[in-house]
Chains A and B, each alone.
Chain A
Amino acid sequence: MRTSDRIIKAFLQLSTVLSVLITVLIVLSVFSETMRFFSHVSPLNFFFGTEWSPQTAIRADQAGSSGSFGAVPIFVGTVMIAAIAMAVATPLGLLAAIYLSVYATPRFRNAAKPVLEILAGIPTVVYGYFAVVAFAPLIRSAGDYLGLEVASESALAAGVVMGIMITPFIMSLSEDVISAVPKSLIYGSFAMGATPYETVRHVIIPAAFSGIIGAVLLGISRGIGETMIVVMAAGLSAKLTVNPLEAVTTATVQIVTLLVGDHEFDSPKTLAAFALGFALFIMTFLLNMAAQIIVKRYRQQNA
């Protein structure tokens, strides 16, 4: 090989190493800040405490200057909004995928697919704007009509809008999975006189089940990590509640509120954001790994 070729190859190798390095860097940088946080606040307090008020005192001798960092309300809020989102996205996405691959005429498909692709391409900040300007007031007035007390930054509004955002994602993943179901199974079912619904329920869904679970796991991971919609439409105060009509906060909202603005880098307040980020990273990482393994196994099973 010529020297220039050698250099090119070395560059390619170096880039690959660098791309792996990113993961290592994420883990190391976020992990070291998290460790620094845990030298201020005990992990037991963080993972099991139910009181979250990270304000640091202006004067050092002020009462309650350390703030309290019990993250349970935040985790509950995060899980609740993600659960509402998935309660919207899973049926919508799955039914849409089934309808498109089983019932839809080619003309309808060509009309419907762009709609979902556009939904997938809209930046999340636009969803956040829509949640604030249109959807949250709508939910509020619906609540007033039914005589329910709805917070202006209710978990329901943020969760439903997030669900709509995740729907096209679930749809395209489960459509891939459904199209990978062996045709012989489907034709066999039709040949036995089964209706399309019976084929979907007793043949396609069982055959595609693990793939669908993988899609749902990836959807949950997106919901947990989604930031802009909740920053704009969910609340700031960490309240331990399971009522979707009240305002709850999420890990991503807290990271943003703790880190936006000027701050010194050593206070437990800023380090708490890294601890939350690390927890978020671990959660989404595990979900993604699980989804990948499930989908891989599903492919081998159908190959």
Chain B
Amino acid sequence: MLKRTGRQARLVLRRIQKNKNPFVFSYGVTPAQKWIAGRKRREKQFKFFGFISIALSALFLGSLILNILGNGYSAFTRVQLYIPIEFSKEILDPEGTNDPAVLSKADYRKLVRNGLLYLFPADMPRAQKFELYALVSKAGYYQLCEMVINDPSLVGRRGELWLPAASNVDMFIKRHSLKSEIGISHYKVSTRQFSMLKELIDKERLRKVFNRQFFTGGDSQEPEQAGILGSFIGSLFTIFVCIAVAFPLGVATALYLEEFAKENWLTDLIEININNLAAVPSIIYGLLGLSIYINILGMPRSSTLVGGLVLALLVMPVIVIATRNALRAVPHSVRYAALAMGANPVQVAMHHTFIYALPGIMTGVILSIARALGETSPLLLIGMVAFLTDIPKTITDPATTLPVQVYLWTNNPEFGFVENTAAAIIVLLFVLVVINALAAWVRQRFEIKW
């Protein structure tokens, strides 16, 4: 060891070999003192590096979470404008047909524009008018259309309504201090629009409300109208299919390997194979799903059925490994006792070992759900990346999942989607935290310590 510790140590060694005291030296600092100081310094440095590496990981996690929260918190509220609307008969249904086909094609933009002009002096120049119109989102037109179709008796009446603000206005109100004009161009808000908005705030015609649309809507081209319900339901269906297939198969495989199979080269091979499957890159499972489920078996592309089956292959090795570990933790005395009472091997496995291992198995299954929920890449390959505004109703409908939705929105260049993406990530991480807490609870509450 001394050979590797450097020059000072060799000096000390030489003095010892010459029968001289290494701590006594005719002048200055002795080699022994230098050596010990060097060892202490290296010790400190090494400890510092270890600490730094943990601190760096924590720093990264902290900035990741802060970034997501900072970008995403504002998506949970939406800005609305209170606008007088006259459902005038001349615009909507001049012939008085009351026919939904006519009503759905009417010019709802005009209603909103008239209402906006009513709030501000109507003699403003044309360019200025368009800046005014741009304050309200297109989603407002759809909202009015829907109202009229549901209740045609509205035609001819007037009232005041809360309509969603345009995406850039929405972001601007939520994120800007509104005290000065500095930075308004970042939100593509003009000076005139800024003063119009200030006037609306003074008249109490502008409010922030909880963004229900985000939790009840499907995807949309307009960031202020896009929601995560479609992808959330897609995730639920996918997980359902995945667990319905992977749970029985994985647990059965583990039970067979652990309780029945003899130890020979074949079971060794199967074990190595399963460990390897757990480490195969997930995208390979996507290739498998594409070529077998879609190409050979002809299952519907983009559907949650195929997605769930692909993820089932992916999590099955995980479930097998977790189940085997849980079964191994059950002491042999349980098996011997059951055998002594006359149970046959299948009864021993199913009625005793399996039951005792169940909490451990459930923990493993819940954690594999978390794994499947965060998986994205195999789903891209089987086509679950389509732009879908509809919410899936059955497992054969085309759908996306929550992480795929995050991917799609990240790619969207429109400014307003940044907050939607971050908010979708917040929801995804929240669900994962809940699942992990559930696993921890099951482990603590039910697991048997032998």
Q: Chain A interface (Cβ within 8 Å of chain B)?
A: 1-2, 5-6, 8-9, 11-16, 18-20, 22-23, 25-26, 29-30, 33, 91-93, 95-96, 98-100, 102-103, 112, 115-116, 118-119, 121-126, 128-130, 132-134, 164, 167-168, 192, 194-198, 200, 202, 218, 221-222, 224-228, 231-232, 252, 255-256, 259-260, 265, 273-274, 277, 280-281, 284-285, 288-289, 292
- A8 & B346 in contact (Cβ 8 Å cutoff): yes
Partner of A121 from B43, B286, B436 at Cβ < 8 Å = B436
- Which residues does chain B contribute within 8 Å of A92, judged by CB atoms? 53, 56-57
Whether B291 lies near A228 (C-beta < 8 A) is no
* A33 neighbours in B (Cβ, 8 Å): 287, 291
Contacting pair B61 A12 (CB below 8 A): no
Q: In the complex the two chains form, what is the Cα distance from A168 to B47 in whole Å? A: 19
Cβ of A252: which chain B residues have Cβ within 8 Å of it? 281, 283, 377
Nearest B residue (CB) for A23? B273
Q: List 21 A-B contacts (CB under 8 A).
A: A19-B249, A19-B250, A20-B270, A23-B273, A26-B284, A30-B291, A92-B56, A96-B53, A121-B374, A122-B64, A123-B375, A129-B422, A197-B46, A225-B280, A225-B282, A227-B376, A228-B377, A255-B287, A259-B380, A284-B280, A285-B280
* Residues of A with C-beta under 8 A to B277: 19, 22-23
Task: Assess A30 versus B288: contact at CB under 8 Å? Given A12-B260, A252-B281.
Answer: yes
Q: Verify A288–B287 contact, CB threshold 8 A.
A: no
- Are A277 and B43 in touch, CB under 8 angstroms? no
Bound together, the chains give a CA A196 to CA B42 distance in angstroms of 10
| Bound CA span A23–B277, Å | 7
Contacts of A232 in B (CB 8 A): 407, 410-411
Closest A-chain residue to B428, C-beta based? A123
Give the docked Cα–Cα distance between A285 and B284 (Å): 11
From B40, B47, B270, B272, residue with most partner A Cβ within 10 Å = B47
Which one of A16, A29, A102 lies within 8 Å of B270 (CB-CB)? A16
Among A121, A202, A221, the residue within 8 A (CB) of B279 is A221
Q: Which 4 A-B pairs have the closest CB atoms?
A: A225-B281, A99-B50, A123-B374, A227-B377
Interface on chain A toward B: helix, strand, loop, or mixed SS? helix
Whether B436 contacts A103 by the Cβ 8 Å rule is no
Residue numbers in A under 8 Å from B450 (CB-CB): none
* Interchain CB contact under 8 A, A292 and B252: no
B14 to chain A minimum Cβ distance, whole angstroms, is 19
Task: Find the A residue at minimum CB distance from B46.
Answer: A197
> Does B101 have its Cβ within 8 Å of any Cβ on chain A?
no
Q: Is the CB of A133 within 8 A of B410?
A: yes
A263 to B444, CA, bound (A): 50
A194 to B4: give the CA distance in the assembly, Å.
13
B305 adjacent to chain A (CB < 8 Å): no
Known contacts: A112-B54, A164-B57. The answer to whether A125 contacts B276 by CB under 8 A is no
State the CA gap A101–B249 with chains docked (Å): 38
How far, in Å, is A273 (CB) from chain B's closest CB? 7
CA distance A19 to B399 in the complex (A): 27
A126 touches B64 (CB 8 A): yes
Q: Give the docked Cα–Cα distance between A190 and B317 (Å).
A: 42
Inter-chain contact A123/B260, CB cutoff 8 Å: no
Count, chain B residues at interface, CB 8 A: 90
Interface flags for B50-64 (1: CB within 8 Å of A; 0: not) read: 111110111011011
Given contacts A8-B346, A112-B54, A133-B67, contact A260 B381 (CB under 8 A): yes
Nearest B residue to A203 via CB reads: B1
Q: Is the CB of B248 within 8 A of A15?
A: yes
Q: How many angstroms from the CA of A26 to the CA of B280 in the assembled complex?
A: 10
- A260 and B256 in contact, given A18-B249, A30-B291, A232-B407 (Cβ under 8 angstroms): no
A5-B344 in contact given A252-B281, A274-B287 (Cβ < 8 Å): yes
CB-CB under 8 A from A13, the residues of chain B are 256, 260
Residue of A nearest to B316 (CB): A19
Distance (whole angstroms) from the CB of A235 to the closest CB of chain B? 14
Question: For B395, what are the chain A residues with a Cβ–Cβ distance below 8 Å?
Answer: none
Q: Are the CB atoms of A5 and B347 closer together than 8 Å?
A: yes
**CB of B432 within 8 A of chain A?**
yes
B407 touches A22 (CB 8 A): no
Contacts of B281 in A (CB 8 A): 221-222, 224-227, 252, 280-281, 284
Complex contacts, B189 vs chain A, CB 8 Å: none
Cβ-defined contact, A231 with B377, below 8 A = yes
User: What's the nearest-Cβ distance from chain A to residue B341, in Å?
Assistant: 15
User: B288 contacts A8, CB within 8 Å?
Assistant: no
Chain A's nearest CB lies how many Å from the CB of B182?
21
Q: In the complex, what's the smallest C-beta–C-beta distance from B117 to chain A, in angstroms?
A: 39
Question: Using Cβ atoms and an 8 Å threshold, which residues of chain B touch A103?
Answer: 47, 50-51
Q: Is the CB of A16 within 8 A of B253?
A: yes
Residues in chain B near residue A2, CB distance under 8 A: 344
- Please state if B279 and A129 are interface contacts (CB–CB under 8 Å): no
On chain A, the residues within 8 Å of B432 by CB distance are 121-123
Residue from B54, B68, B288 within 8 A of A99 (CB atoms): B54
Known contacts A133-B410, A198-B1; A16/B287 CB under 8 A = no
Minimum Cβ distance to chain B for residue A99 (Å): 3
Residues of B within 8 A of A15 (CB): 248-250, 252-253, 256
B11 nearest CB across to chain A (Å): 18
A111 CB → nearest B CB, Å: 9
A15-B252, A259-B381, A260-B385 known; A265+B295 contact, CB < 8 A: yes
Q: How far is the CB of B434 from the nearest CB of chain A, in Å?
A: 12
**Docked complex Cα distance between A164 and B58 (Å):** 10
What residues of B have a CB within 8 angstroms of the CB of A281 in the complex?
280-281, 284
Interface string of B378-415 (1 = CB under 8 A from A): 00110101000000000000000001101100110000
